[in-house]
Structure 1
Amino acid sequence: MKAPYTCLWYENQALDAAEFYCSLFEHSKNLGGNGFMALFELNGQKYMAMNGGPSYQLSPAVSLVVECETQKEIDHYWEKLSEGGEEGRCGWLVDRFGLSWQVIPSVLGQLMSDPDRAAGVQAAFMKMKKLDIETLLNS
């Protein structure tokens, strides 16, 4: 059995979305498609984008997480993914195609697992839109 992968439903922007996402992430590629669907990989993870019409909409119930090592990476992905979309709180955004993303520092899980720091870190990121690594580390 092959590994399962995610199918993303778009009204009619599947090909544009797949092309955009592949342009943002290194080691990503368009695996082909047609007017109805596109297969692509982001850093080795396979996805399908489908033009399914207006029956269903993407929602924040499903989001893609981008873990970043540096603030420069966070700034880059935040800027590119939020352009034409909508910035949310706590590192969340919705891109111009309606897909929700979480752009977070890779150290966030470690900080939130530390019982001495978790409350302060959570209080800090609840005030932010784009997450700031330095502020989180000093919380």
Structure 2
Amino acid sequence: MRASTFLWFDGQAEEAAELYTRVVAGSAILDRQRDTDGRVVTVVFDLGGQRCIAHNGGPQFTFGGGISLYLDCDSQEEVDTAWAALTEGGKEGPGGSLTDRFGVTWQVVPTALADLLAAAEPAAAERILTAIHAMTRIDIQGLIEARDR
């Protein structure tokens, strides 16, 4: 048995899978399934080690903010690169969240956040969390400065 993320699109499954596999290192499109007219119906792809399925199912369903894709980034450069690609045509949200141009919500979070919070005294952790809520794209240096105030 294996669990996968299934994403329902209205005609943009292939475009979305191509964007996502470009943004997330170690990703690849595994399969494209087409209908009898040659149109892509389903794209199976590996997203940084997680199997995902993008399906062109029509307009019946749309994405909501109650579920999102979480992207751990090892550096500020990774945060910035992913953020720029995923917000193009999309919308920035608070605290490292965004909605891409397809309506999929993402959390783009530096791995440094967990380290900063784990090592922080309670008052410093509160300052870090306050700083995150004031940010859209998370800035690691800004978190360090908040911790050190």
TM interval, shorter chain, is: over 0.9
Identity of aligned residues (%): 38
Scaled by the length of structure 2, the TM-score of the pair is 0.86
**CA apart distance, 1:27:** 1.6
Say yes or no: does 1:8 pair with 2:15.
no
Distance 1:127 1:60 in 2: 19
Distance 1:129 1:36 in 2: 34
Tell me, which stretches of 5 or more residues in structure 2 are unaligned? 34-39
Scaled by the length of structure 1, the TM-score of the pair is 0.92
**CA apart distance, 1:115:** 4.6
**CA apart distance, 1:26:** 2.0
Structure index of larger Rg: 2
Distance 1:119 1:129 in 2: 18
Residues 28-43 of structure 1 aligned to structure 2 (within 5 Å): 28-34=27-33, 35-43=40-48
Where in structure 1 do 4 or more consecutive aligned residues deviate above 6 Å? none
Amino acid at match of 2:129: Q
Partner residue in 1 for 2:36? none
Amino acid at match of 2:57: G
Residues 1-139 of structure 1 aligned to structure 2 (within 5 Å): 1=1, 3-34=2-33, 35-113=40-118, 114-116=120-122, 117-139=124-146
Distance 2:27 2:74 in 1: 18
Distance 1:36 1:74 in 2: 31
Distance 2:47 2:93 in 1: 23
Equivalent position SS for 1:62: coil
Question: Counting helix residues as a fraction of each chain, which structure ranks higher?
Answer: 2
Tell me, which stretches of 5 or more residues in structure 1 are unaligned? none
- Compute the RMSD of aligned alpha carbons: 1.3
Matched residues, number: 138
Distance 2:48 2:111 in 1: 16
